[in-house]
Every structure is written in structure tokens, then in C-alpha cells.
């Protein structure tokens, strides 16, 4: 920790974690303290170090955990302790985010700071609704207005007489509660009642809702849709383009809340693919990959590696740990010269190719039975096989290889232990706020049941559909009392995502 503290005023963007900036992520990754607002994504908060102090100072309408003065003092206090502080604010800190006030307070107290702009919801949210805030044939002017100004204020800071007709597109941030006040003023100062409007709730997120109308009927339509904050109001002719440019809500998994149960290290690829198709990912890692405490059996194999004929990998985790340990022993891929290599699944094969190795066998069926079928005739009596894999893996593969007369050395590289789950994620499952649960291995299924408890499994799967990466995983889920709704035809992560899409299209 440095002796002089530092404060980063960081914009977290409008909600979609993919819109968080690279610079913001860099700051968050080295934070000692994170002071964050209400609408900041949990995925973004996950970039902070596990040891970082997390302080919530969120503000909902008329409900403040801390006053602005208290937040200002907190920033100074933490920085003066020599800590790196990230003040994480929704949207952009300088667009109605009170970042200017906080920066001035820091300067007054001699605390160094940096401003990290964020993607403002004033532009991003309309874009996700298919509404460009400017368009050459419609308007070249844009005004961003606070929707929080109280209607009963003695003196307004909004020049209604100028903006009502003098600006092409008006974006009111957090304007739903004062919608009647905003509409009344725009009409009173000359804006045409037929002007198109859109109210966008939870913009850029899978929960996004959009209500369109005109100044004449937008209040009624919002009431009928029961649209509540947080939402923004867009007023202007550009709203007409929504029907042609709508894209976000057209994606095949839009609005679906999907649980990913893979380990934290492996979840990102599956999560990213689901999010790219519009799904909302709830990451509930059920397994934690823990390398074996005693690697001496593996080291003994390294000493006689040239005596083996076959090296068979069953997972990406196995590949990574195997080669990490090789390097620790002063060995590398040159020591594997002459060995035949087999891999279960294209992801495992790809991990080996990235190490510079040619894979001799990748079975068409990505499970132990597939590799047994494809290797029949290749492994002969007396063949020495090294099988580095997880403790507790199925016995099908080594048993069949031994039946063929092979001499199999099985080495346990890691264990898939049960992971702790955030209470809010468990609540989402138990309250039926999840559309699908994905499983990528039998261990994810077993640990999911351990975490949730047998008595809750039937209740959860009544509302959430279960999708499995392959028949072995599906069989385990059924044994554990789950109804399996879909099994991927290709036992890979892309195959699992395709199964999700097909399932929701069929329903």
C-alpha cells in the first residue's frame, strides 16, 4: 500500500457490464476500498480484489444510506489512510453523478484523484432501445436533463421555455417519477403533443422494458405498463426509428435469466456467449478447482515419462495443471517426444494445441465412452497409459483400458470442491426468478444439490429449466432428482448454448 492515498472517480456505465471501460477495470483491480452506488453491476464489482473493503452508499428515491456530505468525508478519510479508493458510480460521474462535487471536496483536502469517465445512460440506453439520440435528417441537437428536479421547487434550474422547442432530442435521466411534471412543462412551453416519446426501464440490461407513445399519451401508457424507476425518458422525432433499429430485444435469449454453475475460472466463456445472445447470466459457481496437495505421484511419472506410450487428458483443468507442474520440475514438452496424446473434447484438444502439441485422438463423442470407441485397436496389451485427471472422476475409461491389457497409471491432479454461493443468488433460485440452470459436468450437478439441499431441488426445477452439456451430466441430474429439459447434441460449451436457444425457441 502506498503511503499517499489516491481516489479514482469511476463511471461504471449504464448497467451492461460489457460497457465498463478498460481504464475503470484497471483501477478497480487494484483498489483497497470500493465505495459504490446502487445501480452498479455485481459483475463489475467482481473485478475488485477479494480483500478489498466494499462499502455500499447507494441512493434510491428518498432513501440514502449515506448523505453526500458523509460520502465526501468517507472518501477523504480512506485516502488519508494511504489507501487506493475507487468511487464507483453508475453512468458517468460528471453527468448528474455529483462527481464534480466529490472532486472539489478531494481537491480542497489535498487528496489526489483521477476521473475515469463512464458510458452515460443518456446515450447508451436509447441506443439499446434502437433510438439514436441524433440523426442528420431529424435533429442535430441534444439536451440531457435531470428528471429528479422536484416539481414543487420555487425556482427551476431547467429553462423549459428554451428546451421545449429549441432542442431536437431531450433525454431526461431518472424522469419517471416526475413524468407528469415534465410532460406538462414541455406542452406548456410549446412542444407538440404528437411528439414521439419513449420511456426505457433497466436500459442495457436483460430486464429492459420500453414503452413508446407521444407526449399526449405517454403518461397513460407508462401507468398501464406499471413501469417503475429506474428509467429514462426520450422525447423527439428520433424515437420513430425504434421499430427499424430495435436490436437488443430481438436476440434469442433476451430477458432470460440463466444460471451458470461452472467454476469461476471457467465460467467466463459460457457467460459471454449467453450474454451475447441477450441472456442475463447469474453466476453460481458450484465447484472450486483445487490442485492436489501432494503432487509426488505425478513427479514420479515425469521421471519415467519416456516409458509411456499414451498420455490421455480428460479436461482443460488437467492440461493446465499438468504443464504447470512440468515446468516446476524443470521439464517441458520436449520430454513428451514420442508419446501419443488423446483428448476428450475439442476444448481439451485446443488447450493442448496451444501448448504446441499435436493431438492424435479427439473422439467424436466427448465423453469416456467416446474415447474408448475411438481408441479401440490403438491401445494394445502391454501399452503404458498415463491418465492425469480429477479425483472422483468416473471409472469407465481406466477400467476398459485395463480390460484391453493396458497398464494404466492414474494420477489425481485436482479436486472439484464445493464453492460458497452468494445469498442473493440462492434467493433468486428459491423465489423462481431464474429461467434456466446449466450444468457442464456431473460435479457441478452434485455440488449444486449440496449447496441448495435436496428438499429445494424439486421446487427450483419446477420453475427453472435444466439444460445439460451431455448425457452423462444429464443422467447425474436425473439421479439427483432433477427434471432435465434439454441435453446438448454436441457436448461442448457452444453446443450447450445452442441447446438453450433451441429450448426457448421451442417453447
Residues forming the active site: 37, 59, 174
Q: CA 62 from chain center: how many Å?
A: 30
Q: Contact, 215 vs 195, CB < 8 A? A: yes
Calpha distance 77→5 (Å, rounded)? 10
Beta pairing class for 231-235 and 196-201: antiparallel
Tell the residue number behind the cell numbers 428509467, with chain if given.
231
Q: Contact, 485 vs 502, CB < 8 A? A: no
Q: Which residue, among 96, 88, 92, 84, has the nearest Cα to 71 in the 3D structure?
A: 88
Calpha distance 208→226 (Å, rounded)? 14
Beta pairing class for 196-201 and 33-36: unpaired
Using DSSP, state whether 461 is helix, strand or coil: helix
Q: Which residue, among 385, 414, 381, has the nearest Cα to 398 in the 3D structure?
A: 385
Q: Which residue, among 358, 48, 14, 399, has the nearest Cα to 171 in the 3D structure?
A: 14
The strands making up 486-487's β-sheet, listed across from edge to edge, are 280-283, 257-260, 436-439, 465-468, 486-487
Q: Contact, 421 vs 286, CB < 8 A? A: yes
Q: Which residue, among 3, 11, 190, has the nearest Cα to 84 in the 3D structure?
A: 3
Q: How far apart are the first and last CA of the chain?
A: 54
Three-class DSSP labels, 284-318: CCCEEEEECCCCHHHHHHHHCHHHCCEEEECCHHH
User: Phi and psi (nearest 5°) for 133?
Assistant: -75, -20
| The C-alpha cell that represents 147 in the structure block | 428528471
Tell the residue number behind the cell numbers 476521473, with chain if given.
115
- DSSP bridge pairs for 231: 201
Using the CB atoms, write b or e for 475-505: b if 16+ within 10 Å. ebbeeeebebbbbbebbbbebbbbbbbebbe
Amino acid at each position: 500500500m502506498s503511503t499517499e492515498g489516491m481516489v479514482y472517480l469511476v463511471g461504471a456505465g449504464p448497467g451492461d457490464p460489457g460497457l465498463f471501460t478498460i481504464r475503470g477495470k484497471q483501477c478497480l483491480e487494484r483498489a483497497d476500498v470500493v465505495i459504490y452506488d446502487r445501480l452498479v453491476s455485481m459483475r463489475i464489482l467482481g473485478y475488485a480484489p477479494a480483500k478489498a473493503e466494499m462499502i455500499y452508499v447507494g441512493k434510491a428515491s428518498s432513501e440514502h444510506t449515506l448523505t453526500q456530505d458523509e460520502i465526501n468525508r468517507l472518501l477523504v478519510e480512506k485516502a488519508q489512510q494511504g489507501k487506493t479508493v475507487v468511487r464507483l458510480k453508475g453512468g458517468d460521474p460528471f453527468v448528474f453523478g455529483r462527481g464534480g462535487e466529490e472532486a472539489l471536496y478531494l481537491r480542497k483536502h489535498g487528496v489526489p484523484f483521477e476521473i475515469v469517465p463512464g458510458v452515460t445512460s443518456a446515450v447508451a440506453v436509447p441506443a439499446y432501445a434502437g433510438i439514436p439520440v441524433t440523426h442528420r435528417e431529424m435533429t442535430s441537437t441534444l439536451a440531457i436533463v435531470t428528471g429528479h428536479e422536484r416539481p414543487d421547487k420555487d425556482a427551476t434550474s431547467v429553462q423549459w421555455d428554451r428546451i421545449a422547442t429549441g432542442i431536437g432530442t431531450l433525454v431526461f435521466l431518472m424522469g419517471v417519477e416526475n413524468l407528469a411534471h415534465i410532460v406538462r412543462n414541455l406542452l406548456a412551453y410549446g412542444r407538440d403533443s404528437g411528439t414521439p416519446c419513449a420511456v426505457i426501464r433497466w436500459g442495457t440490461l436483460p430486464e429492459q422494458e420500453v414503452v413508446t407513445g407521444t407526449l399526449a399519451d405517454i403518461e397513460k401508457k407508462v401507468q398501464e405498463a406499471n413501469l417503475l424507476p429506474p428509467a429514462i425518458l426520450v422525447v423527439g422525432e428520433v424515437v420513430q426509428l425504434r421499430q427499424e433499429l430495435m436490436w437488443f430485444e430481438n436476440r434469442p435469449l433476451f430477458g432470460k435469466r440463466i444460471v451458470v454453475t461452472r467454476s469461476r475460472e471457467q465460467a467466463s466463456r459460457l457467460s459471454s456467449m449467453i450474454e451475447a445472445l441477450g441472456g442475463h447470466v447469474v453466476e453460481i459457481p458450484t465447484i472450486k478447482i483445487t490442485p492436489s496437495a501432494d503432487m509426488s505421484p505425478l513427479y514420479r511419472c515425469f521421471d519415467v515419462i519416456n516409458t509411456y506410450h499414451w498420455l490421455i487428458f480428460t479436461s482443460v483443468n488437467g492440461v493446465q495443471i499438468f504443464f504447470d507442474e512440468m515446468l516446476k520440475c524443470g521439464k517441458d514438452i520436449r520430454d513428451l517426444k514420442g508419446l501419443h496424446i488423446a483428448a476428450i473434447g475439442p476444448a481439451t484438444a485446443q488447450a493442448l494445441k496451444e501448448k504446441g502439441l499435436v493431438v492424435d485422438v479427439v473422439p467424436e463423442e466427448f465423453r469416456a465412452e467416446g474415447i474408448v470407441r475411438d481408441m479401440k485397436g490403438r491401445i494394445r496389451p502391454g501399452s503404458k497409459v498415463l491418465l492425469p485427471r480429477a479425483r472422483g472422476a468416473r471409472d469407465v475409461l481406466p477400467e476398459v483400458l485395463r480390460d484391453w491389457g493396458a497398464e494404466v497409471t492414474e494420477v489425481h491432479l485436482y479436486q472439484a470442491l464445493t464453492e460458497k454461493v452468494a445469498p442473493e443468488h440462492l434467493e433468486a433460485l428459491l423465489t423462481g426468478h431464474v429461467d434456466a440452470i446449466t450444468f457442464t459436468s456431473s460435479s457441478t450437478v452434485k455440488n449444486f444439490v449440496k449447496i441448495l439441499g435436496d428438499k429445494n431441488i424439486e421446487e427450483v426445477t419446477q420453475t427453472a429449466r435444466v439444460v445439460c452439456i451431455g448425457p452423462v451430466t444429464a443422467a447425474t441430474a436425473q439421479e439427483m432428482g432433477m427434471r432435465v429439459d434439454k441435453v446438448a447434441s454436441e457436448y461442448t460449451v457452444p453446443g450447450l448454448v445452442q441447446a438453450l436457444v433451441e429450448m426457448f425457441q421451442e417453447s
